[in-house]
Structure formats: C-alpha cells, structure tokens
Structure 1
Amino acid sequence: MCRWLAYSGQDVLLGDLLYKPEHSLIDQSLHARMGVETTNGDGFGVGWYGTEAATPAVIRDTGPAWNNRNLREIASHVRSPLFFAHVRASTGTAVQQTNCHPFRHGRWMWMHNGAIAEFHRLRRDLSLAIDPALFSELEGSTDSEVMFYLAITLGLDQDVPGAVARMAGLIERVGHREGVEHPLQMTVAVADGERLWTFRYSSRRASRSLFYSSRVDTVRALHPDLEFLSGASDETRLVVSEPLGDLPGVWNEVPEGSCGVVQPGTDEFLPFEPV
C-alpha cells in the first residue's frame, strides 16, 4: 500500500512537514509502522496550491522519496496553504510516473491508499464507466486514477461526498457481479484548493489507518515547545496515513466509514456509505 499526508491551514514550508517531524512522511517511506509494507519506495509525488494559479502544481517521480535531491530542494523553498504528499508501494501496477500520486484534473487533486481487489478483472468495466470526454485524460494504469475519474464522472464538481459514494458503490456492484467478496479498500484525500475532503472506507469494514490532528490551540497547550506551531492558525489541520510522531494528544484516528471535511470555519465528520 502507500502512505500519504494532506495539509490545510496557514502557508507552511513543505519541508517543515515532509522532513522535520520525528516520523515524517520521508521516514515512513523507509520505515512505515502501520502499512502493509514497511517500505514505500515505488515513487512519490507532491501537489500544492499557490496564490497565482487556479490549478495545483504537481511533481511526481518513480524513485524513492528518501534520497531525491529535487524533492528536498523544492520542499525547502515552496510554501503552500494546502498541499498533498504521497509515497507509493505498488499493488501490482507498473512503477511509472503516470502511476504516482497525487492525480490532478483542473482544480482537483486526488490521492489514495488501498486497492480495488482483482482490479485486473474489473478494470475494463470500470474504465468504460468513465465519461468518454474524460477518458483520453487517463494517463496511467492504476486503480487509484480510475477511481478519480469515476468520481469526476459521477459529479465531483457538484457534490464531493456524493460523487465518492457513487464511485465506491459502482466499484462494489461491479466487483460483486464478478464474484469479488470485498472489492474496495480506500483512504482518499481530495481537494479543490479551498476545502479538503478525506474518506476512510473498505468493503471489509477494516480500513487502512488514517489520523487527523487535534486543534492547534489544544496541541500548542500540550506541547509549547513545537516550533512549527508558534505561528500556525487555528484552521491548521493535518490528515495522515500514520502519525508523524508519538506526542500524546496530537493525533486522532479517523472513524471507520467516514468522510471528513476540512474547511474555513467548522470542520465536519460525516458517516460514509457507498451509494
């Protein structure tokens, strides 16, 4: 599987979160504690929203994140109020740039940890359900990208939770029709530059790990020595495949079968079920 991080809040230097925490995403690319694999070296990607463009910037590479000089260079100079980072462990599809996360379409970014079970058997039917006008934009061979374009087809622009629920429902219907008992395993992050949505769901009801950070004022009171938090706004949130450290009171498990919305004002957790 994979490990990922999504950040939303005040402008932050990407490197402060990618490299500095005790159990940073870069450390997880070599020493994951909660993933199926301990090493996630089949490529990486970072995507971020800036102030000058309506669409996010995305860089992806097929090598491991832990020794990539270009990633370290970019991370030490780029600031963003909303960014994704992903380290990949392939579930069987090729190690190639177009299969690395995050994926981008217009203002949307998407990344995923998990798998469509027996994807090689379901791939044709699922791919044919993608809007023909979008099909030519499908670049890679992963189940994750197919999920993204299915969600766009099924109304991501109008209703993010509804589109993801319809996508998940379609995958389960096609899988069950083909005799796959538990077709879907997913933790997903999707953003439009203003809001961040996260999903934790699996057909087995035993999803991959996912955590969100406590309110900044709570964390600051518990750990006043954390330099990064000195200028962080109360809107700051992190969602991660596994905690970036062992500090008590900082990390909370995302509930099974849920959708989280990080947005200006009040964040929300909603029950999630495929439609």
Structure 2
Amino acid sequence: MCRWLAYSGSPIMLEELLYKPAHSLIDQSLHARMGAETTNGDGFGIGWYPDDHGGPDRVVEPAVFRGTGPAWSDQNLRELARCVRSPLFVAHIRASTGTAVQQTNCHPFRYERWLWLHNGSIRDYPKLKRDLVLAVDASLYPYITGSTDSELMFFLALTFGLRDDVPGAVERMAGFVETTAARHGVADPLQMTVAVSEGKRLWAFRYSSGHASRSLFFSTSVHALRALHPENPALRKASEETRIIVSEPLGDLPGAWNPVPESCYAVVQEGHDAIRRFSPRGGAE
C-alpha cells in the first residue's frame, strides 16, 4: 500500500512535515510501521496550493511534483521542500499494488483546482477496469493519464459530482465500485483512505468494503502538535485551526493523534471541523 499526509493551516515550509519530524513521511518511506509494506519506494508526489492565493475568494490551480524513485533519496524533493511554503498541501509515498512505476501513476492526481490521493486498492482491478472506465464522463476521460485504480476512482468521483458535493460523490464512487464488483463476483473490493481538496477545505475518508480499513489519524489540536515538536518554530506560530491528517503518526506523544473512525470522513475547514459517517450509495444515479 502507501503512506500519505495532508496539512491545512498557517503556511509552513514543506520540509517541516516531510523531513523534520522523527517519524516523518520520508522516514516512513523506509520504515512504515502500520502499512501493508515497511518500504514505500515506488515513487512519490506532493501537491500544494500557493501561499498567496490572490485573495480569499480565489483559489489558483495547485502545483504538483512527482517522481518515480524512492522519496528518501530524491535530492530535488529535498530542495523543493526546503523552499516551498504553503497553507494547504498533500504528500504521498507509493508502494505499487501492481500497476507500473511511472510518473503518471504517482499521487497526487490533479484536475483543475482539485487534488486527490489514495492509499488502498480495488481488488481484482483488471477484471473490473473496463466497466469502471466506461462510467467516466466522456468530457473527463481525456484527462486520465495513468493506469492506476486510484486515478480512476478520482475521475469516477468527478463524474459523480465531486465539484458540487464531495462526500456524496465519493460515496457514489464507492457504491459504484462495489456494485460493479458484485456483478463480477468480487467480494470486499474496496480498500481506501483518501484525501481530496479544492484549496480551501480538506476532506479525508476512511473506508473498506470489509470494514477493516487502513490506518488514518488526525492531529487533535495545534497545542498537541507544539508539544510533539517543540523544536519546530513554524508550529509555535501556527493558527488554532492548523490540522494534519496522516496514514500514521509523525511522533509518539500520547493524545496528539486521534484515529479517524471506521467508515467515516473528516472535513477540515475554516471554523468548525467535523467527522461524519461514510456510507456508499448507488453510483450511477
């Protein structure tokens, strides 16, 4: 599988979370503790929204940087993380579940101002792929550039209305995958933790058809983050609304991280954050 993180809050340099914590995402690329694999070396990617959006009502298209080598040895990633500052970014380290190690298969995936990344898989994906691909809206299909189930899930969610209703679209995507799998006799087809953002809000989903989902955690408060990383001056200046969502914790301070409950999603936004139930529904409505 894979490991990922998503950050929303006061603008910080990417290296503050990618490299500096004791169990940073880069450390997890070699020494993951909670994933299906210890090593996640089949590529990486980061996507970020600029520090200056051009005003509170305007969100520009995010930037994406992806590579096919292991994150721990990529000097370009290290240089970029040292220089890029962002109030909302996502990062992903990949362990392929069978599709090719190539740049177009590395997360995050981008469409217009939207970013999407995924940890998990669709079981027996080659058997289901044709039916799933044919459900993608014809206007979106040309933008699929890779061969992963993760990217196809993104474009199915876009087809089912992601730009208007994120939770509803992801629920319809999951429901459609499960319905398609049932027609082909594939049991428990979907395993996913997903992060998606349009630059203002951040959604994180934890779900699997067998109700045994991969790990996902969110930071409890900025005070806990400061206690976890007292050496980090960026976090001392972070706003009260700063949040981090991770596949596995960046450190071991008790109480600093809470698990996202099974079959739930979290939304991080200005004001009140929320955790709500996630329930797949008919995708081809």
Common fold: TM-score over 0.5: yes
1:237 aligns with 2:258: no
Query: Pairwise mapping of residues 1-275 of structure 1 onto structure 2 (< 5 A)?
Result: 1-50=1-50, 51-52=52-53, 54-220=60-226, 222=227, 225-227=230-232, 228-275=234-281
TM-fit CA distance, 1:223: 5.2
In structure 2, how many angstroms separate the alpha carbons of the residues matched to 1:44 and 1:55? 20
Q: Do 1:41 and 1:87's aligned partners in 2 also have CA atoms closer than 8 Å?
A: yes
Letter in 2 for 1:117: R
In structure 1, how many angstroms separate the alpha carbons of the residues matched to 2:76 and 2:272? 36
Letter in 1 for 2:17: L
Q: Sequence identity of aligned pairs in percent?
A: 64
Query: Alignment partner of 2:210: what SS?
Result: coil
The verdict on how the C-alpha distance between 1:94 and 1:128 changes in structure 2, with shifts beyond 3 A counting, is same
TM-fit CA distance, 1:224: 8.0
Structure 1 residues not aligned, in runs of 5+:
none
Query: Alignment partner of 2:207: what SS?
Result: strand
In structure 2, how many angstroms separate the alpha carbons of the residues matched to 1:111 and 1:247? 26
Q: Do 2:23 and 2:250's aligned partners in 1 also have CA atoms closer than 8 Å?
A: yes
Q: Do 1:219 and 1:249's aligned partners in 2 also have CA atoms closer than 8 Å?
A: no
Number of matched pairs = 274
TM-fit CA distance, 1:209: 0.5
Q: Do 1:42 and 1:64's aligned partners in 2 also have CA atoms closer than 8 Å?
A: yes
In structure 1, how many angstroms separate the alpha carbons of the residues matched to 2:155 and 2:5? 21
Query: Alignment partner of 2:16: what SS?
Result: helix
In structure 1, how many angstroms separate the alpha carbons of the residues matched to 2:68 and 2:112? 23
In structure 2, how many angstroms separate the alpha carbons of the residues matched to 1:170 and 1:124? 13
Structure 2 residues not aligned, in runs of 5+:
54-58
Query: Alignment partner of 2:76: what SS?
Result: helix
Query: Alignment partner of 1:55: what SS?
Result: coil
